[in-house]
Amino acid sequence: MGSEVPGVDGMTQFLLELRSEEVPARMQAGARRDLEKLFREHMAAAGVALGALTVWSTPRRLVLIAHDLPLATEAVSEELKGPKLGAPPQALEGFLRKTGLSQEQLMERDGVYFAISEKPGRATSEVLAEAIPAIIRAFPWPKSQRWGAASISTESLRWVRPLSGIVALLGQDLVACEVGDVRSGYATMGHRFHHPGEITIGSAADYQDKLRACHVIVDHAEREGLIRQRAKAVAEAAGLALVADEGLVIENAGLTEWPMPLLGRFDEAFLEVPPEVIQLTARTNQKYFVCKKDGKLANAFVCTANIEASDGGAGIVAGNRKVLAARLSDARFFWEQDRKKTLAQHAEGLARITFHEKLGTVADKVERVAKLARWLVEEGIVKSSPSLLGEGDRSPQASGGGAPPSAASATATSPSKLGEDLASLAEQAARLCKADLVTEMVGEFPELQGLMGGYYARAEGLPDAVADAIRDHYKPVGQGDDVPTAPVTVAVSLADKLDTLAGFFAVDEKPTGSKDPFALRRAAIGVFAIVQTCALRLHFLEVFDCAIATLADQQLPLRSRLEELGQGAIDIARIEKLPLTKAYRDGLHLAVEQTSIELIAFLADRLKVQQREAGVRHDLIDAVFALGGEDDLVRLLARVHALQAFIGTSDGTNLLAGYKRAANILKKEEYAPGESNPAPELAEAALIAALDKAAPTAAAAVEAEDFAGAMAALASLRAPIDAFFDDVTVNDADPKKRAARLALLDRFRVAVHNVADFSKIEG
């Protein structure tokens, strides 16, 4: 090694720059991680001790600097353990074959053979010269390509875009290597336009400064910081507030080597287009930031140029302004076109869109959602609330299509009338909730689904409650998203998700493992969030019966499956109540039952996952579920929460211990419930007395949904059961006493089961 200025103790810096044609911005962060990972792996495999690494990226280069790299690797002595001295000859022969050594070369220690291999130290430059091509060839780009004359073979080098240069310097020395037709060298390129020529790099030490002098800020984090700060500054200089957008900061930093945020204006007339549309088109199509003034979207944008133009960027801003104007003209064209039809007219087009081959068109789905939304209101599951009254006050047409105008004065309306209004509004909103899918605007910007429907609904004068429901019915989309609470929205959102769940389960398209193509888990979590937030009292079995019956009513292909399952139909009273065509009823029973059972199991599973994140123990959910018949989420969770609080107390812990002891005895012994001991011992009598009191109290409390009360009743059993186990011998010599005491323990277990199946509780 002839490095002239090695660092302290024979350490030096290594610089690697992989230059290519523009790397997609979205891939740069991953590429930095991959470069670091691959480099560490290669150095570790070669025994090169690594200190700190710096990794940078620009659109045209990926850079790695290894600080404190040794100039040579240490000699390594590796020991491989072989057979014992007295082992059969085949074992020794095998070991010699494996190591390529003779018996004399082996070392003996503690009666065991060892093979010692000495790896001499290697020059780091040599290791690097091998590693660089290997890293380049193994680089895991999400998409890569071939290029140039070499691509006459498909075996030619692949890279994200053509690889154009490699700088590899250990200290000041070139690490000579070659990959494809690219050879390493000292030369790189500066900014594409500000400094089109080559630059010669001396070492890692001058790399960053030399590039900066040639209008390249090589550190991506520095560019991000510049964009963040200057974009804000140019907005503030114009009296505006930048709408911060970290994704745009990173993307623009990935598109520039010399970022220059510039503020431009667009015609104020475009502000008639919904602000979300303007922001989205500015962001996704043009990568511009938007600005606000007094909390409202302003007619200004911030673009990030890659050059410092001599006119201060005036020409660039003018060009960008024109492009944005064209985009906004298109958006306004869509906005105007779409409003030429009513949402109801747009909705006709839904018959042409397949929702799922087995579940019909989106129009079919909408029909089901509408029925289900109405049903949710008519069954009293979704009720009017003050918020709906408020909306009614604001909007004189709150009663929606068909209802007489007199119903508009919601405050003066009877509850049943209000319920009917709510049902009509829910059905109306449901029928229109997917109509925007066939609008031009949503065709162009699919992420605006729902939102545009809301705008169009308001524009045509539909009640606010309906417009809000159309806008928000996809919510909640994920954890942390707003959960609807307005009654009409709740009915539509819930109906939409329940129909999706019921539909896909009915046609046997259930999530498996990591595959959940129809986002049913998300739908389930959405249902939980709505039910919990709004404290809706519903029985999932009934709800799914209705949802599946609605599906069945449409005579979709799932009919065959339902009928197939329905052979030897069983009688389920609740199906009889459903609004279902007679011809269909017979084939349904078992299918409904089966689908509902699968659905409830799926929901229970998702509930456990969701509640675990909220700190609720899954075994406690199991303990309540195990009692059977609980399909009311609000009640279930109230019970689980009370149980969790109780189990955390010393009464709870001890009662659980007593329960487990009793259950263990009962598991082993034969007994008949109902036996009694005419001459009970003191502790035995005390337990009987406690049970006489606690069991009915707990049952009554559960009935009244006073789960804390039920727990308190159980707590009163703790002392008596402990005393019983301390003082009384269950396995008495007298068979009558023994039978009576076993029966008593059984009574105790039954009493506890008023609240939960404690055998499911862990610990």
Partner 1 sequence: MSDASLTFQEMILRLHAFWSAHGCLILQPYDMRMGAGTFHPATTLRALGPQPWSAAFVQPSRRPTDGRYGENPNRFQHYYQYQVILKPNPANLQELYLESLAAIGVDPLMHDIRFVEDDWESPTLGAWGLGWEVWCDGMEVTQFTYFQQIGGFDCKPVAGELTYGLERLAMYIQGVDNVYDLRFNDTVSYGQVFLENERELSKYNFEVADTASLFDGFAKAEAECQRCIEAQIPLAAYDQAIEASHLFNLLQARGVISVQERASYIGRVRDLAKGSCAAWIEKNTREWEAKFPGWTV
Backbone angles phi, psi at 635, to 5 degrees: -65, -45
Find out whether 758 and 659 touch, Cβ atoms under 8 Å: yes
Residues 339-398 that bind partner 1 (CB under 8 A): 352-354
The minimum distance between CB 699 and partner 1, in angstroms, equals 57
The minimum distance between CB 274 and partner 1, in angstroms, equals 20
Show the tokens assigned to 196.
């089109």
CB burial of 27-45 (b: ≥16 within 10 Å; e: otherwise) equals bbeebbebbeebbeebbee
The minimum distance between CB 220 and partner 1, in angstroms, equals 16
Q: How far apart are CA 50 and CA 70, in angstroms?
A: 8
The minimum distance between CB 346 and partner 1, in angstroms, equals 13
The minimum distance between CB 148 and partner 1, in angstroms, equals 6
The minimum distance between CB 311 and partner 1, in angstroms, equals 7
Quick one: 26 or 37, whose CB is closer to partner 1? Answer: 26
- For residue 413, is it left (φ>0), alpha (ψ between -120 and 50) or beta? beta
Backbone Cα Rg of the chain: 37
Find out whether 500 and 358 touch, Cβ atoms under 8 Å: no
Sign of the dihedral defined by the CA atoms of residues 179, 183, 188, 194, in that order: negative
306 binds partner 1 (CB under 8 A): yes
Q: Give the x/- contact pattern for partner 1 in 194-213, rule: CB under 8 A.
A: x-------------------
Of 491, 441, 497, 438, the C-alpha closest to 466 is: 491
Stretch that binds partner 1, among 298-306, 420-428, 545-553, 720-728 (CB under 8 A): 298-306
Find out whether 562 and 587 touch, Cβ atoms under 8 Å: yes
The minimum distance between CB 180 and partner 1, in angstroms, equals 11
Quick one: 554 or 654, whose CB is closer to partner 1? Answer: 554
Stretch that binds partner 1, among 192-200, 428-436, 559-567, 702-710 (CB under 8 A): 192-200
Q: Single out the residue of 177, 235, 316, 502 in contact with partner 1 (rule: CB under 8 A).
A: 316
Q: How far apart are CA 740 and CA 748, in angstroms?
A: 12
Quick one: 318 or 601, whose CB is closer to partner 1? Answer: 318
CB atoms within 10 A of CB 205: 18
Quick one: 354 or 409, whose CB is closer to partner 1? Answer: 354
Q: Single out the residue of 53, 72, 323, 638 in contact with partner 1 (rule: CB under 8 A).
A: 323
Residues 11-70 that bind partner 1 (CB under 8 A): 21-22, 24-26, 59
Show the tokens assigned to 355.
């929702």
326 binds partner 1 (CB under 8 A): yes
Quick one: 25 or 607, whose CB is closer to partner 1? Answer: 25
Q: Is 165 helix (H, G, I), strand (E, B) or coil?
A: strand
Quick one: 310 or 512, whose CB is closer to partner 1? Answer: 310
Residues 132-191 that bind partner 1 (CB under 8 A): 143-154, 160-162, 164
- Contacts of residues 661-669 at CB distance under 8 Å and 24 or more positions apart, as own/partner, are 661/725, 662/721, 662/745, 662/748, 662/749, 663/749, 663/758, 663/759, 665/730, 665/742, 665/745, 666/742, 666/745, 666/746, 666/749, 669/731, 669/742
576 binds partner 1 (CB under 8 A): no
Q: Single out the residue of 77, 90, 102, 310 in contact with partner 1 (rule: CB under 8 A).
A: 310
The minimum distance between CB 243 and partner 1, in angstroms, equals 18
268 binds partner 1 (CB under 8 A): no
Q: How far apart are CA 652 and CA 715, in angstroms?
A: 7
Quick one: 322 or 577, whose CB is closer to partner 1? Answer: 322
Quick one: 60 or 718, whose CB is closer to partner 1? Answer: 60
The minimum distance between CB 504 and partner 1, in angstroms, equals 19
Quick one: 239 or 517, whose CB is closer to partner 1? Answer: 517
User: What are the residues facing 70 on neighbouring strands?
Assistant: 11
Quick one: 303 or 642, whose CB is closer to partner 1? Answer: 303
The minimum distance between CB 99 and partner 1, in angstroms, equals 42
Stretch that binds partner 1, among 309-317, 406-414, 704-712, 721-729 (CB under 8 A): 309-317
The minimum distance between CB 49 and partner 1, in angstroms, equals 38
The minimum distance between CB 73 and partner 1, in angstroms, equals 36
Q: How far apart are CA 502 and CA 518, in angstroms?
A: 12
Q: How far apart are CA 445 and CA 439, in angstroms?
A: 10
Residues 236-265 that bind partner 1 (CB under 8 A): 255-256
Of 245, 467, 242, 500, the C-alpha closest to 368 is: 500
Stretch that binds partner 1, among 37-45, 95-103, 310-318, 553-561 (CB under 8 A): 310-318
The minimum distance between CB 161 and partner 1, in angstroms, equals 7
Rounded to a whole number of angstroms, the distance between the first and last alpha carbons of the chain is: 65
Of 761, 758, 550, the C-alpha closest to 663 is: 758
Q: Give the x/- contact pattern for partner 1 in 416-455, rule: CB under 8 A.
A: ----------------------------------------
The minimum distance between CB 497 and partner 1, in angstroms, equals 23
318 binds partner 1 (CB under 8 A): yes
Of 506, 467, 483, 503, the C-alpha closest to 594 is: 506
Of 436, 528, 423, the C-alpha closest to 476 is: 528
The minimum distance between CB 190 and partner 1, in angstroms, equals 13
Q: How many chain residues are in contact with partner 1, going by CB under 8 A?
A: 52
Quick one: 3 or 320, whose CB is closer to partner 1? Answer: 320
309 binds partner 1 (CB under 8 A): yes
| 83, 85, 86, 88: CA torsion to nearest 10 | 40
333 binds partner 1 (CB under 8 A): yes
- Structure letter (DSSP) for residue 739: H
Quick one: 153 or 411, whose CB is closer to partner 1? Answer: 153
Amino acid making up residue 751: A
Extended beta strands in 171-223, E state: 173-174, 178-179, 182-185, 187-189, 198-200
Backbone angles phi, psi at 361, to 5 degrees: -90, 175
Stretch that binds partner 1, among 218-226, 325-333, 723-731, 747-755 (CB under 8 A): 325-333
Quick one: 21 or 586, whose CB is closer to partner 1? Answer: 21
Binding site for partner 1 (CB under 8 A): 21-22, 24-26, 59, 143-154, 160-162, 164, 192-194, 255-256, 286, 288, 303, 305-307, 309-311, 315-316, 318-320, 322-326, 329-330, 333, 352-354
